[in-house]
Chains A and B, each alone.
Chain A
Amino acid sequence: MPEIRIESLRKAYGDHSIIEGLDLTMADGEFTVLVGPSGCGKSTTLRMIAGLETCSGGAILIDGRDVTRLEPKERDLAMVFQDYALYPHMNVAKNMSFALRLARYPSAEIERRVRDVAATLDLTPYLDRKPAELSGGQRQRVAMGRALVRDAGTFLFDEPLSNLDAKLRGSMRAELALMSRRIRKNMIYVTHDQVEAMTLGDRIVVMRHGKIMQAGSPEELYRRPANRFVAGFIGSPTMNFLKADLVGEEDRVAVVGQGFRFLLSPERSKSLHASLGRAVDLGVRPSAFEPSEGADALQLPVVLSEYLGAQSVIISELGGARIAIEVNASGPIPIGGTRGFKVAEESLYLFDSKTETSL
């Protein structure tokens, strides 16, 4: 089972550079998710790994073997496409067995594999159907099945769930997670949905403008975002950002903005002394606000409240910006008036306003 290594991979169309010098190693048996907004180069990266796009520079190594210039079929991989890419003129069984038939497997073996995979994906009743006679979810499963019967070393997924409705997406996501746990192959999964990334990935690679912003486990990315972009991308509802300044107070540092002032602990202050006077973006996740009756609590207006059942999201205002606050409440929260909140120090994220890197 292969380790996949990407070394200073580049892709450019004419003068237009899509990906500039990407380095990435995907360990054997790891579920890697490439995530980022559209146009960030994640799909192009996946397609270069697949061999569907040529590389403008750099190298792709699978299990130490340089495959940069090899045809897709020489790379031992299977792929699930966003629009499923089923063969419209073949029935489900023929779709799933196409690769095996090309590779001249014995027909008994082909039949056995198709039957087994169809059974695990609940596709057995549909083996004689053409793709046009299947629902979106069924087509999605056929695409998955076609990849699975191959028993390839690496599985590539190009936004496989984005054409499904929200409910189906949720259940397919769970199925995918179970499947990946069961077969333990290399999986590379491209999505723009951070929920998919968080729930599926052993490791998440956040990309933007053809560059890697941060790579790490879901928890790492959530707890220790390397920059403002990752902080804003990972987590739902999105992190709130407030304009602030770092001000020295005796030997400690305070984060001061319009309507708020957080005094940091001596330990944290020490590392921030060099940044004193700098403009920063203060990041606070909506879930970091805790109701507080204390005298030093932030009094925040309830501009709007969205009742979600177990939680409510309060839209409020702080430092001239609109912020979201997630609260656990038994019932809907009335609009109007103010409520007191406090935020624990470890929930305050500081980013340099210019470089956007974490401080």
Chain B
Amino acid sequence: MSIATANRLTPYLFLAPAAIVLVVALIYPIGYVIYASFLDWNPSQRIGEAAYVGLKNYMKLLGDAAFRESLWVTLKFAAVVVTAEMIIGVGLALLLDRNIRGMSLLRTLFILPMMVAPIVVGLMWRYMYHPTIGIFNRTLTSMGFEAVPWLSDSDWAFAAVVIADIWQWTPFIFILSLAALQSLPRSALEAARIDGASQWQTILYIKLPLMLPVLIVTMLLRLIDAFKVLEVILVMTNGGPGLATEILSLRINRTASEFRALGEAAAMSNILLLVLMGLTLAMFLYSKAMEARARALRAAPVGEE
């Protein structure tokens, strides 16, 4: 082998371990799930024994009211939590982007919820929401208010899981926004002060527009995550009451383990995967568009001197 060939092959050699892991851990399972979604397969069968049914699983899902409800709950959940988290997270970052004593400690405290295991978060909130011994209802009744059926009423249960998710994931947006804020050009902010911008005007006209690229990527990352939420809701409500909090991952889990319909569960997974791929693609296209725009602007013809 010539040295030139060896040189050309070297990068692929270094890439190989990662590529192998990718194939084994990602491509193979995805292919497996896609294949499984065309089968009528129950857990007592080996995959080879399952009957091929074509698109029947997908057709069935389209007509399934419970699946549609679950999809709607998922969309609603993702939209509500991400909107709330963006507003609170960015707001907190704007408030805490300053040099005062103890700020680093405060920042660490703020991101603690993100570091707690989801199962623990679920359990913690389930106890806090407990109808009689939970801290919320105890506080409410001691203050003379009526107890709230946190997890037993469908509207309250949805609100309860939303609150728990906001508690856990706002820090994610907070730290990314804070990082974005702290990388803003200081002198541009000072120039805005000289130009007469108030705090609000600086936020509105300088800080937010400059943070926008980071915020959009953060939001898409959070959306992707919100669509896949499982553990916290599983522990808190297990999808109930009724189907009020049954997000897609729970539905998939139940279809596979409870209804023993692996093919159908695989089809659902693929639909969720499609939604997520759509979001990822949106993110990718967004960053491409930004780059292309920057390039086009740079290449714009120079005006007459």
Which residues in A have some Cβ–Cβ distance to B below 8 Å? 50-52, 71-73, 77-79, 81-89, 98-99, 102-103, 122, 124-126, 129-130, 132-133, 146, 150
| Interface check B11, CB cutoff 8 A | no
**B209 contact set on A, CB distance < 8 A:** 89
**A150 contact set on B, CB distance < 8 A:** 195
**B196 contact set on A, CB distance < 8 A:** 72-73, 99, 102-103
User: In whole angstroms, what is the CA distance A71 to B194 when docked?
Assistant: 8
In the complex formed, the residue of A with least CB distance to B212 is A89
Q: Are B185 and A88 in contact (CB under 8 A)?
A: yes
Query: Of B192, B297, B302, which one neighbours A87 at CB under 8 angstroms?
Result: B192
Q: Are B297 and A133 in contact (CB under 8 A)?
A: yes
User: In whole angstroms, what is the CA distance A79 to B195 when docked?
Assistant: 9
Instruction: Scan residues 277-305 of chain B and give those whose CB is less than 8 A from a CB of chain A.
Output: 294, 297-298, 300, 302-305
User: In whole angstroms, what is the CA distance A126 to B209 when docked?
Assistant: 22
Chain A nearest CB: distance from B198 CB in Å? 8
- What 0/1 pattern do residues 175 to 195 of B give for CB contact below 8 A with A? 000000000010110111111
Which residues in B have some Cβ–Cβ distance to A below 8 Å? 185, 187-188, 190-197, 201, 205-206, 209-210, 294, 297-298, 300, 302-305
Query: Of B195, B205, B294, which one neighbours A73 at CB under 8 angstroms?
Result: B195
**B304 contact set on A, CB distance < 8 A:** 125
The verdict on A132 contacting B298 (CB below 8 Å), with A52-B190, A99-B195 known, is: yes
Q: Are A81 and B191 in contact (CB under 8 A)?
A: yes
**B297 contact set on A, CB distance < 8 A:** 129-130, 132-133
Q: Are A78 and B194 in contact (CB under 8 A)?
A: yes
**B294 contact set on A, CB distance < 8 A:** 132
Chain B nearest CB: distance from A88 CB in Å? 7
In the complex formed, the residue of B with least CB distance to A95 is B191
Chain A nearest CB: distance from B159 CB in Å? 37
Q: Are A81 and B206 in contact (CB under 8 A)?
A: no
Known: A72-B194, A150-B195. 4 other contacts (CB 8 A): A72-B196, A85-B187, A102-B197, A132-B298
User: In whole angstroms, what is the CA distance A260 to B143 when docked?
Assistant: 97
The verdict on A125 contacting B188 (CB below 8 Å), with A50-B194, A89-B210 known, is: no
Q: List 12 A-B contacts (CB under 8 A).
A: A52-B194, A72-B196, A88-B185, A89-B210, A98-B205, A102-B197, A102-B201, A125-B303, A125-B304, A125-B305, A133-B297, A150-B195
